[in-house]
Amino acid sequence: MESEILMEAYMVFDIGGTFIKYAVMDESARKLRSGKLATPKDGLDSFLQTIQRVAEENAADFELQGIAVSSPGAVDIKTGYIGGASAIPYIHGVNMTAHIREKTRLRTVIENDANCAALAEGWLGAAKATDYYICIVIGTGIGGSIVLNQTILRGANLHGGEFGCMIMGAPAQEPLQGTWSLAASTNALVEEVKKRKQLEEGTFDGEAVFRLAKEGDSIAKECIAEFYKRLAIGIYNLKYALDPEKILIGGGVSSRPEVIEGINRELQQLRNDVSTLQIEVEACQFGNDANLVGALFHFLNTKY
Protein backbone atom coordinates (compact mmCIF):
# COMPACT_ATOMS: atom_id res chain seq x y z
CA MET A 1 0.00 0.00 0.00
CA GLU A 2 1.40 3.37 -1.03
CA SER A 3 1.83 5.95 1.71
CA GLU A 4 -0.45 8.96 1.59
CA ILE A 5 1.10 12.11 0.11
CA LEU A 6 0.55 14.95 2.56
CA MET A 7 -0.09 18.54 1.48
CA GLU A 8 2.83 20.93 2.00
CA ALA A 9 2.01 23.67 4.52
CA TYR A 10 3.46 25.97 7.16
CA MET A 11 2.89 26.01 10.92
CA VAL A 12 2.32 29.60 12.08
CA PHE A 13 2.08 30.86 15.67
CA ASP A 14 1.03 34.26 17.04
CA ILE A 15 2.25 34.51 20.63
CA GLY A 16 0.22 36.80 22.87
CA GLY A 17 0.16 37.49 26.57
CA THR A 18 -3.16 35.69 27.01
CA PHE A 19 -3.41 33.31 24.06
CA ILE A 20 -1.25 31.59 21.47
CA LYS A 21 -3.09 31.58 18.16
CA TYR A 22 -1.97 29.10 15.54
CA ALA A 23 -2.75 28.18 11.97
CA VAL A 24 -1.64 25.76 9.32
CA MET A 25 -1.35 27.83 6.14
CA ASP A 26 -0.48 27.30 2.52
CA GLU A 27 1.97 29.63 0.78
CA SER A 28 -0.82 32.04 -0.19
CA ALA A 29 -1.80 32.48 3.50
CA ARG A 30 -4.97 30.42 3.18
CA LYS A 31 -5.78 28.88 6.56
CA LEU A 32 -6.11 25.11 6.37
CA ARG A 33 -6.57 24.69 10.11
CA SER A 34 -6.50 27.08 13.04
CA GLY A 35 -7.08 27.39 16.75
CA LYS A 36 -5.89 29.04 19.94
CA LEU A 37 -4.89 28.00 23.43
CA ALA A 38 -3.91 29.70 26.65
CA THR A 39 -0.36 31.02 26.83
CA PRO A 40 1.48 29.03 29.52
CA LYS A 41 2.27 31.03 32.64
CA ASP A 42 4.69 28.62 34.29
CA GLY A 43 7.80 29.10 32.20
CA LEU A 44 9.72 28.39 29.05
CA ASP A 45 9.62 24.59 29.23
CA SER A 46 5.84 24.54 29.33
CA PHE A 47 5.70 27.01 26.45
CA LEU A 48 8.05 24.93 24.28
CA GLN A 49 6.12 21.74 25.04
CA THR A 50 2.95 23.47 23.89
CA ILE A 51 4.55 24.55 20.61
CA GLN A 52 5.95 21.05 20.10
CA ARG A 53 2.60 19.38 20.77
CA VAL A 54 0.68 21.58 18.33
CA ALA A 55 3.33 21.12 15.63
CA GLU A 56 3.37 17.34 16.06
CA GLU A 57 -0.43 17.09 15.96
CA ASN A 58 -0.52 18.96 12.66
CA ALA A 59 2.48 17.17 11.20
CA ALA A 60 0.32 14.07 11.14
CA ASP A 61 -1.90 15.65 8.49
CA PHE A 62 0.41 18.07 6.67
CA GLU A 63 3.95 18.07 5.33
CA LEU A 64 5.14 20.99 7.45
CA GLN A 65 7.84 23.08 5.79
CA GLY A 66 8.71 25.04 8.89
CA ILE A 67 7.46 27.21 11.72
CA ALA A 68 6.75 30.95 11.46
CA VAL A 69 6.30 32.88 14.71
CA SER A 70 4.92 36.33 15.56
CA SER A 71 6.21 37.42 18.96
CA PRO A 72 6.16 40.46 21.22
CA GLY A 73 9.47 42.09 22.09
CA ALA A 74 12.52 43.36 20.24
CA VAL A 75 13.16 40.34 18.02
CA ASP A 76 16.63 39.94 16.55
CA ILE A 77 15.65 37.97 13.47
CA LYS A 78 19.21 36.88 12.76
CA THR A 79 20.20 35.57 16.20
CA GLY A 80 16.77 34.46 17.37
CA TYR A 81 17.01 36.34 20.66
CA ILE A 82 14.10 38.46 21.90
CA GLY A 83 14.98 41.60 23.81
CA GLY A 84 12.79 44.18 25.49
CA ALA A 85 9.91 43.20 27.74
CA SER A 86 6.38 41.84 27.42
CA ALA A 87 3.63 40.08 29.33
CA ILE A 88 5.56 36.81 28.79
CA PRO A 89 8.85 37.32 30.67
CA TYR A 90 10.35 33.91 29.92
CA ILE A 91 10.61 34.49 26.15
CA HIS A 92 13.14 37.29 26.65
CA GLY A 93 16.88 36.84 26.77
CA VAL A 94 16.88 33.35 25.28
CA ASN A 95 17.41 32.07 21.76
CA MET A 96 13.79 31.26 20.95
CA THR A 97 14.54 30.28 17.36
CA ALA A 98 17.03 27.65 18.50
CA HIS A 99 14.76 26.37 21.28
CA ILE A 100 11.74 25.90 19.00
CA ARG A 101 13.85 24.36 16.24
CA GLU A 102 15.38 21.91 18.70
CA LYS A 103 11.95 20.88 20.01
CA THR A 104 10.23 20.52 16.64
CA ARG A 105 13.10 19.68 14.28
CA LEU A 106 11.65 22.25 11.89
CA ARG A 107 13.15 25.39 10.41
CA THR A 108 11.94 28.28 12.59
CA VAL A 109 11.76 32.01 11.85
CA ILE A 110 10.55 34.66 14.34
CA GLU A 111 9.48 38.27 13.80
CA ASN A 112 8.07 41.00 16.05
CA ASP A 113 4.27 41.07 16.15
CA ALA A 114 3.84 44.71 15.04
CA ASN A 115 6.24 44.09 12.17
CA CYS A 116 4.23 41.01 11.19
CA ALA A 117 1.05 43.06 11.05
CA ALA A 118 2.76 45.63 8.84
CA LEU A 119 4.17 43.00 6.50
CA ALA A 120 0.72 41.43 6.13
CA GLU A 121 -0.66 44.78 4.94
CA GLY A 122 2.09 45.16 2.34
CA TRP A 123 1.69 41.61 1.08
CA LEU A 124 -2.07 41.25 0.79
CA GLY A 125 -3.69 44.22 2.54
CA ALA A 126 -4.09 47.98 2.51
CA ALA A 127 -0.49 48.67 1.47
CA LYS A 128 -0.33 46.10 -1.33
CA ALA A 129 1.85 47.46 -4.18
CA THR A 130 3.00 50.33 -1.93
CA ASP A 131 6.78 50.70 -1.72
CA TYR A 132 7.05 52.85 1.41
CA TYR A 133 4.56 52.97 4.26
CA ILE A 134 4.24 53.02 8.02
CA CYS A 135 1.81 51.23 10.33
CA ILE A 136 0.81 52.81 13.63
CA VAL A 137 -0.67 50.35 16.11
CA ILE A 138 -2.82 51.97 18.80
CA GLY A 139 -3.57 49.97 21.92
CA THR A 140 -2.25 49.88 25.47
CA GLY A 141 0.59 51.98 24.06
CA ILE A 142 1.50 53.08 20.55
CA GLY A 143 3.89 51.07 18.42
CA GLY A 144 4.36 50.41 14.77
CA SER A 145 6.62 49.70 11.85
CA ILE A 146 8.37 51.40 8.97
CA VAL A 147 8.38 49.37 5.75
CA LEU A 148 10.43 50.06 2.62
CA ASN A 149 10.23 47.69 -0.34
CA GLN A 150 8.68 44.96 1.86
CA THR A 151 11.55 45.25 4.32
CA ILE A 152 11.20 46.40 7.93
CA LEU A 153 13.47 49.31 8.83
CA ARG A 154 14.58 48.09 12.25
CA GLY A 155 17.09 50.70 13.36
CA ALA A 156 20.49 50.28 15.00
CA ASN A 157 18.93 49.03 18.26
CA LEU A 158 15.86 47.26 16.81
CA HIS A 159 13.68 50.17 17.94
CA GLY A 160 12.58 51.46 14.55
CA GLY A 161 8.83 52.06 14.68
CA GLU A 162 8.65 52.70 18.42
CA PHE A 163 6.56 55.76 17.67
CA GLY A 164 4.99 55.81 21.13
CA CYS A 165 8.29 56.97 22.66
CA MET A 166 8.08 60.35 20.89
CA ILE A 167 7.78 63.19 23.40
CA MET A 168 4.67 65.16 22.54
CA GLY A 169 4.76 67.82 25.25
CA ALA A 170 5.15 67.83 29.02
CA PRO A 171 6.65 69.95 31.81
CA ALA A 172 10.36 70.44 31.19
CA GLN A 173 11.24 68.66 34.43
CA GLU A 174 9.36 65.50 33.42
CA PRO A 175 9.60 65.14 29.63
CA LEU A 176 9.05 61.37 29.62
CA GLN A 177 5.59 61.93 31.10
CA GLY A 178 4.59 63.42 27.76
CA THR A 179 5.24 60.52 25.39
CA TRP A 180 2.79 59.78 22.59
CA SER A 181 1.85 56.47 24.21
CA LEU A 182 0.97 58.19 27.47
CA ALA A 183 -0.93 60.94 25.66
CA ALA A 184 -2.76 59.25 22.80
CA SER A 185 -3.02 55.47 23.23
CA THR A 186 -6.37 53.78 23.76
CA ASN A 187 -5.27 53.22 27.34
CA ALA A 188 -4.62 56.97 27.72
CA LEU A 189 -8.13 57.71 26.43
CA VAL A 190 -9.68 55.27 28.90
CA GLU A 191 -7.67 56.65 31.83
CA GLU A 192 -8.63 60.23 30.96
CA VAL A 193 -12.34 59.40 30.90
CA LYS A 194 -12.06 57.49 34.18
CA LYS A 195 -10.27 60.42 35.79
CA ARG A 196 -12.71 63.06 34.61
CA LYS A 197 -15.75 60.98 35.50
CA GLN A 198 -14.19 59.93 38.84
CA LEU A 199 -14.81 56.27 38.10
CA GLU A 200 -13.65 53.54 40.44
CA GLU A 201 -11.08 51.01 39.29
CA GLY A 202 -12.69 48.14 37.43
CA THR A 203 -13.78 46.95 34.04
CA PHE A 204 -13.79 49.95 31.75
CA ASP A 205 -12.21 49.93 28.31
CA GLY A 206 -12.17 51.66 24.95
CA GLU A 207 -15.42 50.02 23.91
CA ALA A 208 -17.10 51.54 26.96
CA VAL A 209 -15.75 55.01 26.13
CA PHE A 210 -17.14 54.94 22.60
CA ARG A 211 -20.43 53.52 23.86
CA LEU A 212 -20.77 56.42 26.32
CA ALA A 213 -20.05 58.91 23.55
CA LYS A 214 -22.70 57.34 21.34
CA GLU A 215 -25.16 57.70 24.20
CA GLY A 216 -24.35 61.42 24.36
CA ASP A 217 -21.99 61.55 27.33
CA SER A 218 -20.27 64.94 27.07
CA ILE A 219 -17.07 63.95 28.88
CA ALA A 220 -16.55 60.88 26.69
CA LYS A 221 -17.16 62.96 23.55
CA GLU A 222 -14.69 65.64 24.66
CA CYS A 223 -12.01 63.08 25.52
CA ILE A 224 -12.42 61.31 22.17
CA ALA A 225 -12.10 64.64 20.33
CA GLU A 226 -8.86 65.32 22.21
CA PHE A 227 -7.73 61.75 21.47
CA TYR A 228 -8.11 62.40 17.72
CA LYS A 229 -6.22 65.68 18.00
CA ARG A 230 -3.29 64.12 19.85
CA LEU A 231 -3.09 61.27 17.37
CA ALA A 232 -3.17 63.71 14.46
CA ILE A 233 -0.29 65.74 15.89
CA GLY A 234 1.92 62.65 16.17
CA ILE A 235 0.96 61.50 12.68
CA TYR A 236 1.74 64.96 11.32
CA ASN A 237 5.21 64.73 12.87
CA LEU A 238 5.80 61.27 11.41
CA LYS A 239 4.68 62.39 7.96
CA TYR A 240 7.18 65.24 7.94
CA ALA A 241 9.97 63.12 9.49
CA LEU A 242 9.54 60.04 7.29
CA ASP A 243 7.27 61.15 4.40
CA PRO A 244 5.79 57.68 3.69
CA GLU A 245 3.44 57.02 0.78
CA LYS A 246 0.81 55.60 3.11
CA ILE A 247 0.05 55.74 6.82
CA LEU A 248 -1.99 52.83 8.15
CA ILE A 249 -3.71 52.62 11.53
CA GLY A 250 -3.94 49.30 13.35
CA GLY A 251 -5.04 48.12 16.76
CA GLY A 252 -8.55 47.55 18.05
CA VAL A 253 -9.74 51.14 17.49
CA SER A 254 -8.87 50.95 13.79
CA SER A 255 -11.97 48.85 13.17
CA ARG A 256 -14.12 51.88 14.02
CA PRO A 257 -14.73 54.04 10.93
CA GLU A 258 -15.38 57.07 13.13
CA VAL A 259 -11.81 56.85 14.48
CA ILE A 260 -10.24 57.02 11.02
CA GLU A 261 -12.65 59.81 10.08
CA GLY A 262 -11.86 61.72 13.28
CA ILE A 263 -8.10 61.50 12.78
CA ASN A 264 -8.38 62.60 9.15
CA ARG A 265 -10.59 65.51 10.14
CA GLU A 266 -7.92 66.73 12.57
CA LEU A 267 -5.17 66.18 9.99
CA GLN A 268 -7.13 68.28 7.51
CA GLN A 269 -7.36 71.04 10.11
CA LEU A 270 -3.59 70.92 10.62
CA ARG A 271 -3.13 71.20 6.87
CA ASN A 272 -5.39 74.20 6.78
CA ASP A 273 -3.35 75.83 9.52
CA VAL A 274 0.28 74.99 8.87
CA SER A 275 0.92 72.04 6.57
CA THR A 276 1.70 71.98 2.87
CA LEU A 277 1.25 68.21 2.58
CA GLN A 278 -1.99 66.30 2.20
CA ILE A 279 -1.89 63.85 5.12
CA GLU A 280 -4.43 61.05 5.45
CA VAL A 281 -4.58 57.74 7.24
CA GLU A 282 -6.47 54.56 6.46
CA ALA A 283 -7.27 51.48 8.48
CA CYS A 284 -5.33 48.25 8.25
CA GLN A 285 -7.35 45.59 6.43
CA PHE A 286 -6.29 42.56 8.43
CA GLY A 287 -7.81 42.09 11.84
CA ASN A 288 -7.05 39.18 14.11
CA ASP A 289 -5.14 37.28 11.42
CA ALA A 290 -2.63 40.06 10.66
CA ASN A 291 0.19 38.64 12.78
CA LEU A 292 -0.25 35.15 11.37
CA VAL A 293 -0.23 36.35 7.76
CA GLY A 294 2.78 38.60 8.32
CA ALA A 295 4.73 35.88 10.11
CA LEU A 296 4.20 33.58 7.14
CA PHE A 297 5.32 36.29 4.72
CA HIS A 298 8.48 36.82 6.79
CA PHE A 299 9.19 33.08 6.81
CA LEU A 300 8.73 32.77 3.05
CA ASN A 301 11.07 35.69 2.41
CA THR A 302 13.80 34.84 4.90
CA LYS A 303 16.79 32.88 3.60
CA TYR A 304 18.57 32.04 6.85
Q: Which CATH architecture has domain 7-112+288-300?
A: 2-Layer Sandwich (3.30)
Counting every residue, how long is the chain?
Answer: 304
* Homologous superfamily of the 126-283 domain (CATH): ATPase, nucleotide binding domain (3.30.420.40)
Give the whole-angstrom CA distance, residue 280 versus residue 282: 7
pLDDT at 1: 41
pLDDT tens, N- to C-terminus, the chain (304 residues):
455 788 999 999 999 988 999 999 999 999 999 999 999 999 999 999 999 999 999 999 999 999 999 999 889 999 999 988 888 999 999 999 999 999 999 999 999 999 999 999 999 999 999 999 999 999 888 989 999 999 999 998 888 998 999 998 766 667 667 899 999 999 999 999 999 998 876 778 899 999 999 999 999 999 999 999 999 999 999 999 999 999 999 988 999 999 999 999 999 998 876 667 889 999 999 888 999 999 999 999 998 7
Cα maximum dimension of the chain: 78
Backbone angles phi, psi at 188, to 5 degrees: -65, -40
Contacts of 274 (CB under 8 A, 6+ apart): none
Domain boundaries, the chain: 7-112+288-300, 126-283
User: Residue 129: what are its φ and ψ, rounded to 5°?
Assistant: 70, 15
Question: What is the distance between the alpha carbons of residues 91 and 67, in angstroms, rounded to a whole number?
Answer: 16
> Distance between CA atoms of 196 and 205, rounded to whole angstroms?
15
Q: Quick check: 94 and 177 in contact, CB under 8 A? A: no
Say if residues 34 and 21 touch (Cβ distance below 8 Å).
yes
The answer to whether domain 7-112+288-300 and domain 126-283 are alike in fold is yes
The model's pTM is: 0.87
